[in-house]
Amino acid sequence: MSIEIDPDDDTMCCASCGKAKVDNIKLMRCTACYLVRYCSVICQKSHRSQHKRACKKRAAELRDELLFRQPESTHLGDCPICMLPLSLDPNSMTSCCSKVICKGCDLANEKQKMEESQSQILCPFCRHPVPPTDEGIDLNTMKRIEANDPVAMRHVGTRCYHEGDYDSAFEYFTKASGLGEADAHYQLSTMYRDGFVEESKKKELYHLEEAAIAGHPRARCNLAVLDCENGRTMRAVKHFMIAAKLGHDLSLENLKNLYLRGAVTKEDLATAIRAHQAAVDAMKSPQREAAAAFLQERI
């Protein structure tokens, strides 16, 4: 447990020895529960046995408050070009600047190249030439990794994962998650779940929660499924509600199934349906619809 100096509290006393804050005594706060203060690490350690139970209970409550807060958007954010929320379907990543753009803007950039008879495709965001080969993309992406770009790290980690190089994938995902990359947290959760590095339910849950807090709907849906399997239906409903409001289709379908079982009220389901539709509509644009139609023709 770590402790933090609390400069604004003039009334609290050390929970262990009872010393009050004076000019030469700085009270430090327990950063796990924020309930008590200590004048030193020695007092904190001596008081640990008395404080442990209350600390864990309050820390769990604070974690749940953070976990069940409705994110303003998904972990993907907005397309940096059209400024609309990125679709939950696969998007495009530029190798030169590691920006994730929607399929609509990607296709519009390709059309511009053909209309202007460009000899080389330019990045739709930074307008630098896009490397034409896999080797060039890898080299450019590695430069982004050297610059501590978490998106590039996650991208290379995903490639290593699909190639069966799980050790390298784990290394890239770990670095990216340490820099706050939500999808890297999600990928780590699947590696712990499937035993590609070590099978650990505790670590799987931690990374799922970190991804969900960052707005990852699929991670939150997985959390809800785990709660259902463990009989925590009300927690599962909360997770499904949050993910459905972010536009996640499977979470909405699970809410409908739980409604038929009487675990979800009609009002909550109606709220989720309206919010889900609003989120899906916000992700639509004529360019994206044209890109979807174009890709469908090529299949």
CB proximity list for 179: less than 8 A, separation 6 or greater: 148, 150, 153
Residue 240: the pLDDT is 98
Determine the CATH number of domain 145-215: 1.25.40.10
pLDDT at 93 over 90: no
Residue 7: the pLDDT is 45
Structure tokens at 201: 């339910």
Query: 229-259, pLDDT tens digit by residue?
Result: 999 999 999 999 999 999 999 999 999 999 9
Query: 149-172, pLDDT tens digit by residue?
Result: 999 999 999 999 999 999 999 999
**pLDDT (average), residues 7-12:** 53
Residue 130: the pLDDT is 67
Residue 1: the pLDDT is 47
Residue 215: the pLDDT is 97
pLDDT at 265 over 70: yes
Structure tokens at 141: 């992406």
**CB-neighbour burial class of residue 183 (10 A; exposed 0-12, middle 13-18, buried 19+):** buried
What mean pLDDT is reported for the chain? Answer: 87
HEC per residue, the chain? CCEEECCCCCCCEECCCCCECECCECCEEECCCCCCEECCHHHHHHHHHHHHHHHHHHHHHHHHHHHCCCCCCCCCCECCCCCCECCCCCCEECCCCCCEECHHHHHHHHHHHHHCCCCCCECCCCCCECCCCHHHHHHHHHHHHHCCCHHHHHHHHHHHHHCCCHHHHHHHHHHHHHCCCHHHHHHHHHHHHHCCCCCCHHHHHHHHHHHHHCCCHHHHHHHHHHHHHCCCHHHHHHHHHHHHHCCCHHHHHHHHHHHHCCCCCHHHHHHHHHHHHHHHHHCCCHHHHHHHHHHHHHC
Specify whether the CB–CB gap between 166 and 187 falls below 8 A. Answer: no
Q: What percent of the chain has pLDDT over 70?
A: 90
Query: 10-64, pLDDT tens digit by residue?
Result: 457 888 888 887 767 788 888 888 889 998 889 989 998 999 999 999 989 999 9
**pLDDT (average), residues 279-298:** 87
Structure tokens at 239: 């997770």
> What pTM did the predictor assign?
0.84
pLDDT at 287 over 50: yes
Query: 103-130, pLDDT tens digit by residue?
Result: 998 888 888 777 776 666 777 887 777 6
Residue 241: the pLDDT is 98
Query: For domain 74-130, which architecture applies?
Result: 2-Layer Sandwich (3.30)
Q: Where are the domains of the chain?
A: 3-67, 74-130, 145-215, 219-283
